[in-house]
Amino acid sequence: MTAASAFKGRPNVAALLTYLAPMAERPHNYTYDPPPGVPRSNCITETPVMPVFGARPFERDISLDCQGVALLHHESVVRNFADDHEMPRVYYPEAERVLTQPTGAKRGFIFDHTVHRRVKDGMDRAPGTPRQPATHIHVDHTVKSGPRRARYFPGADAQNWLRARLQVINLWRPIHGPLRVAPLAVCDALSMASDDLVPSDLIYRDRVGEIYGVTFNPNHRWFYVPEMQPDEALLLKCCDSATDGRARFAPHTAFEDPTVGTDVTPRESIERRTFGLH
């Protein structure tokens, strides 16, 4: 079954998705409050209404190397995802084992994790508030910043990562379920054009990272997993150094499902970005 035929006629919701509008200057976002008079972002956005398809009827037809995403069924033994001691001790090794089989990686290394909590009218990265779900379409790394991140590894390991095929995979799951508020929509990599991806600066106090913003393309096919449970997880490709035609990047975004009411549990989710070495 082709990706286009898998989507055709399937149930979907009509949702506003926030794209990066074409810009003359390079897009950037500050991760902290910039100096007075400096805007936190120079990004110009547009929000077309797009169909977002429920992926459950064709979840076996999507894969990391074709669509850039895969759905896993896996129950974590972690009891408290907010515990900074339990996470590296229990979840990091667990996640590395989970990632090895579907990616084909010989080794894995988790280099960070982020917990997102939906707070009504909250702004992402605002002081004293939890990280909010990202509501603009993006890819966590670029063809440059994925390998660049590997250089943070000490000693010979960094060179081993850079000589091999390198993947950066985001392992994403809800902490509570069913997830109804701000679910994650993913763009089918087969529906993208390379120039849809726009390198954008993410400015930290001590460094400048690079992500992809995404410009609108009417050919984009979007899907999500309705009412995800904590024993389900998505693998999202943030970057793949292979250039043999397989999917390399998976644009994604949180979105507001217009069919969901207001009296539901706010979203809590966790993501781990992991290097896979082949």
The whole-number pLDDT of residue 124 equals: 58
Helices (H), the chain: 3-7, 86, 92-103, 145-150, 156-163
Question: What 3-state class would DSSP assign to 174?
Answer: strand
The whole-number pLDDT of residue 14 equals: 96
Fold topology of 3-277:
Jelly Rolls (2.60.120)
The whole-number pLDDT of residue 110 equals: 73
Domain limits, the chain: 3-277
The whole-number pLDDT of residue 159 equals: 63
What Cα–Cα distance (Å) separates residue 103 from each residue in 31, 42, 44, 96, 236?
31, 36, 35, 11, 11
Global model pTM greater than 0.85: yes
CA 227 to CA 244: how far, in whole Å? 35
Residues of the chain where predicted confidence (pLDDT) is lower than 50: 1, 156
The whole-number pLDDT of residue 160 equals: 62
The whole-number pLDDT of residue 1 equals: 44
